[in-house]
Amino acid sequence: MSTKLFLIFSSFFLSVNSVNVLVYSPAFAASHTNFMARLADTLTESGHNVTFLVPIIDVARRNQLGVRLTTDVVVVEQDDKASQEHIPFDESMEAYWTMETDSSNVEDSIKWFFDGMKVGCENFLRDRNVFELMKSRNFDVAILEPLSVCGLGFFEKLGIEKTILASSCANYDYLFRHLGEPNEYSYVPSLMSTKGEKMNFFERFENYKVSEGMSRGISRMFDAEQKTYQKYLGENLPDWRDLLPAASLFFTNSNPYLDFPRPVLQKTVPIGGISVDMKKIRSHELNEEWNFVLNQRKHNILISFGSLVQSSHMHTEARDNILKVIRSEPNVTFIWKYETNETSFANGIPNIHFSKWVPQPNLLGDPRISAFLTHGGLGSTNELAHCGKPAIVVPIFGDQHRNAYMLERHGGAIVVQKTELHEWKTLKSAVTKILYDGKYKKNAIHLADLLLNQPLKPKDLVTKYVEFVAKYGPFPEMDPYGRKLNFFQRHLLDVWLMEILGHLALFLIIFWVIPFRLRKMTYLMPVVDVEKRDECIGVKLTKDLIIVEMFKWFSSDMKIACRNFLSRRDIFNQMKSRNFDLAILEPVSVCGLGFVKALGIEKIILASSCTFFDTVLPYIGEPLDFSYVPAGFSVTGDVMSISERYENWLVTKEINAAFEDMHDGETELYKEFLGENIPDWRDLLPTASIFFVNSNPFLDFPRPVLQKTIPIGGISVNMKWTTEHQISSEWEQILNKRTSNVLISFGSMVKSTHMPLKWRNGLLETIKSMSNVTFIWKYESENVSFADGINNLHFSKWVPQITLLSDPRLTAFVSHGGLGSTMELAYSEKPAVVIPVFADQIRNANMLARHKGAIYLHKNHMENVEIVRKAFEDVLFDESYKRNAVKLADILNNQPYSPKENVIKYTEFVGEHGPFPSMDPYGRHHNYFQKTFLDIYAIFALYYLALVIFTLVAARIIYVQIRNCVESKLIKRD
């Protein structure tokens, strides 16, 4: 086999801080290669050693490498066999001018791509020289676009554990199921969708079908590539389905301020717009030729349909209509990127300028360009969005429809279908509006303002996260357990079935099993749904009725506090006079929401002191994945049985009912004191610009979140201050008594002095048995005579907890698992035994335990000395706990963006540019059945049921007819 390996240039500058990065980018389309090239150049610019590996898939793209700064480029040429099997991509493009892609033909419409990638993969892996060359370079991190898994097998064989997926499209919905990210077909357009976010019943079904069709085609291609990499690199290489979720991060060419809002995993990092260098665009001066063209008329429109589908292949009818519209606007210059010199069809039209190539970014950045008529490729979409240009978008194929509607929803673009290009009225109206209706330009500039001033810049994100992965990756704890669940488990359909059967069983027991001769019965009713409290009592004869009201003390106190606060008109007037830019509040109460609305503050930030508030999520459109995400008051971790998933759902349902009742009461109060016109709390919550949560993606259970949910977990932990703070001589003396020291604290709400005697005695016996360890117990009373004779126990009514936790002499922590203590512990490198008492503490204990630096001990086990001692000894003497605790702390203390940075950057951004109504997901308007497609499944279930019934009835009729015929013949014969 002849091998052609072309090395453009190779140089390595090794330094202590440099990361060796392999960027794998098959050459098949300029937009994809350019995106990967921007990643490579960004990392090169940051001082890292980057190798850009380019297997040639389409020879027509041989010279479209895209890199400018990265010099170590390895191009893998096609060998003789690949050249014979080569699939010319360009020949497939012309058909897209007339082809309509939908669920019926989505696989066939890109068969050329599937075939070409298979040929390219085999050609790449046949070249053993490339493998040996890459093996010698000892890469820290490898990046590839998951349009192919050929590179994943290659990375695995090279021994690169730290991989990053990077999508040059806004998203690849066929990947989501393998990563554990939800596919919200009901309101998020799929990659190949032809609709926006607002879809009717049939459009939602089509959105699902086109995504499933794409997934089938991609899966077959990936299976073929897997056979190829196992053939050339080793049969023991894992399945691609196992390699994809092992990636540390997923970069997407999406921007949360531009794209359709959708829930994502927090290892999905949006870097949309990284290919747009506004500083370079603004500093570039156009040459004399382009200045002449732009200065001829007051208005200028740029026309480009990209590089894949060419304008020269456009049907004559559509082309002639465009020319007709151009002729009708003599005061506008139209600059048309046209691929051939054959433009005689436009003779006599003075206001049209053809060019085989245009400096598109620089033209879009020029204020003399009035608008852009584009195909809606994502590269062009990002450029025009960042440059603030209104646009007419004519999507041709692929993700271009999605991109078109993505732009349109911001009010700066008009979508014209390619089938409408021949319609004079439609195209003329679009051109007139985009040129002379000022709202399009205004909205386009507003969008550009958001993108240019976003808190976290795409280039910074790429650099910081790649460096972070290189040093601390991979992150298996960020892999959601939910991806291992089937549809029924994920959507709790099995739990609902269990609930229905449970109610049925209870009904049978009440009416058929319980003997009616029982003379005395007590009816105990915990209130779950407050609205149905009275109608659900039901009993008529039973006199012994006990109703358990939910959180009555908390709800009552919050309402009293709300009334007291709102009745103070002087406070309202004082706040009104201060002209606040924004307001921050915790949504444990909605009293403040009504208050800030009455003040006229539009820019609101919600902030949760817990990891999240289950009660808030449905109203902001964030999914509640009860099947694998422990609720705030859950008693389990992320791996749950059916009964545990049911309990996880039920406890949230109960808590939410109580909070909704309380919030309704608060709403009545703020309407009473501040005005009846103030909206319901359910309408105020989703208007918040962002939602700060006291959660950390590297610590918490992985779950899908909206991209306006900003994790700031650990903001209360100031490790710099702690390490610089001197501990007192008293504590010095205590810590120096023994080589091991354990801090015990159950927080400030539930006091150690109130601990049941048998639990306290169990702890004391354990402490007494471990005489070589000093135990420091935060105890709220000076009456500690019960511990007389235990020399290794020190009581204190107050302890400098964070200072002690950061002291290397403290060996372990016995904690209740309050979130404040959990964060301090996680940042402080200390192993722990967590004994949760109530509320979210059980969740926090399980959260810590999954990182294997802590042991969750149930409070009921405290009386069992053997169990407690075993737990204490494990965290004290088993080095794995300490090692895992240090690893977690190292990640948290060095995460790409600190919680403090996030708070400052996002608050300033909201203050200057908020609110962000475009980040409000349309899915929150859907009910459960619409979001989970159960309405669609139900229709088809009824259809198939009717079909079965019809078939059975028809078969019965045919059978009867045949039988009657046979009987008739037998009678005649007799």
Concatenated DSSP letters of 829-888 = T--EEE---STTHHHHHHHHHTTTSEEE--GGGGG-HHHHHHHHHHHHH-HHHHHHHHHH
Where is 696: in which H helix or E strand?
A: none
Tell whether 655 and 803 lie within a shared domain. Answer: no
CB 933 within 8 A of CB 211: no
Segment 654-658 long-range contacts (CB within 8 Å, at least 24 positions apart)? 654/526, 654/528, 654/550, 655/550, 655/551, 655/614, 655/615, 655/631, 656/614, 656/615, 657/527, 657/528, 657/529, 657/530, 657/550, 658/530, 658/550, 658/551, 658/554, 658/555
CATH code at position 362? 3.40.50.2000
List pLDDT tens digits, range 141-200: 999 999 999 999 999 999 999 999 999 999 999 999 999 999 999 999 999 999 999 999
Closest CA to 719 of 900, 478, 902: 900
Q: Tell me, yes or no, whether 586 and 696 share the same domain.
A: yes
Q: Which of 895, 920, 942 is the last residue of a domain?
A: 895
241-244, long-range: CB within 8 Å, 24+ apart, which pairs?
241/178, 243/149, 243/152, 243/153, 243/156, 243/163, 244/146, 244/149, 244/152, 244/165, 244/175, 244/178, 244/179
Q: Which two tokens stand for residue 299?
A: 């208005």
Give the phi and the psi of residue 774 in degrees, each rounded to 5: -85, 125
735 occurs within a structural domain:
yes
Whether 586 and 705 map to the same domain: the answer is yes
> How much is the pLDDT for 738?
96
Categorise residue 695: left if φ over 0, alpha if ψ from -120 to 50, beta otherwise. Answer: beta
Distance CA 747, CA 550 (A): 24
How many alpha carbons lie under 13 Å from residue 503 in its C-beta half-sphere?
5
Burial class of residue 569 in the structure, from the number of CB atoms within 10 Å of its CB (0-12 exposed, 13-18 middle, 19+ buried): exposed
Residue linked to tokens 């965290």: 875
Residues 937 and 724 sit within 8 Å (Cβ to Cβ): no
Burial class (CB in 10 A: 0-12, 13-18, 19+), 833: buried
Query: Are 911 and 884 members of one domain?
Result: no
Determine, yes or no, domain membership for 534. Answer: no
The domain boundary, picked from 453, 469, 486, lies at: 453
pLDDT number for residue 85: 84
Would you state the pLDDT for residue 755? Answer: 94
Tell whether 819 and 672 lie within a shared domain: no
Same domain? For 948 and 971 the reply is: yes
d(CA 223, CA 229) in angstroms, rounded, equals: 10
Contact call for residues 621 and 920 (beta carbons, < 8 A): yes
CATH number at residue 670: 3.40.50
The Cα–Cα gap between 836 and 309 comes to 61
CA 383 – CA 302 distance, rounded (Å): 13
Nearest to 824, CA basis, from 797, 805, 798:
805
Residues 324 and 397 sit within 8 Å (Cβ to Cβ): no
162 and 64, same structural domain? yes
* Cβ count within 10 A of residue 563: 17
**Which residues are CB-neighbours of 590 under 8 A, at least 6 positions away?**
663, 666, 667, 670, 681, 684, 685
Residues 241 and 341 reside in one and the same domain:
no
71 and 15 in a common domain? yes
User: What pLDDT digit, counting tens, does each position of 662-721 carry?
Assistant: 999 999 999 999 999 999 999 999 999 999 999 999 999 999 999 999 999 999 998 877
Residue 792 CB neighbour total at 10 angstroms:
18
Same domain, 872 and 948: no
Residues 639 and 737 in one domain: no
Question: Are 142 and 24 within 8 A, CB to CB?
Answer: yes
Task: Return the bridge partners of 165, or none.
Answer: 144, 250
Q: Identify the pLDDT of residue 612.
A: 87
Q: Which residues contact 60 (CB under 8 A, 6 or more apart)?
A: 88, 89, 90
- Which is nearest to 688 in space by CA: 591, 773, 811, 586? 586
CA distances from residue 31 to 97, 100, 252, 348 in whole angstroms, order as listed: 19, 22, 14, 35
- Give domain status of residue 532, yes or no: no
Whether 465 maps to a domain, the answer reads no
Co-location of 784 and 835 in the same domain: yes
Measured CA to CA, the distance from residue 847 to residue 823 in angstroms comes to 11
- Amino acid identity, residue 783? N
Distance in angstroms (rounded) separating the CA atoms of residues 591 and 577: 20
User: Within a domain: residue 17?
Assistant: yes
- Asked if residue 441 is part of any domain, the answer here is yes
Is residue 958 assigned to a domain? yes
Of how many residues is the chain composed? 974
The whole-number pLDDT of residue 535 equals 53
Pairwise CA distance, residues 436 & 209, whole Å: 40
Q: Enumerate residues 6+ apart whose C-beta is below 8 A from 914.
A: 582, 602, 603, 689, 690
Write out residues in the chain with pLDDT < 50, as ranges. 1-16, 514-529, 532, 539, 542-550
Pairing of strands 5-9, 72-76: antiparallel
707 near 778, Cβ under 8 Å? Answer: no
Domain span including residue 974: 933-974
What does the pLDDT read at residue 495?
A: 77
What's the pTM value of the predicted model, to 2 decimals?
0.89
Of 286, 306, 289, 459, the closest CA to residue 384 belongs to 306
CA distances from 626 to 75, 616, 640, 752 (A): 48, 14, 10, 33
Nearest to 632, CA basis, from 664, 604, 594, 658:
658
pLDDT at 725: 77
Query: Structural domain tally of the chain?
Result: 5
Q: How far is 174 from 110, CA to CA, in rounded Å? A: 15
901 vs 453: CA distance, rounded Å? 15
Asked, for residue 544, whether it belongs to a domain, the answer is no
Domain-terminating residue out of 390, 422, 453: 453
CB 67 within 8 A of CB 75: no
Peptide bond into 915 cis (omega under 30): yes
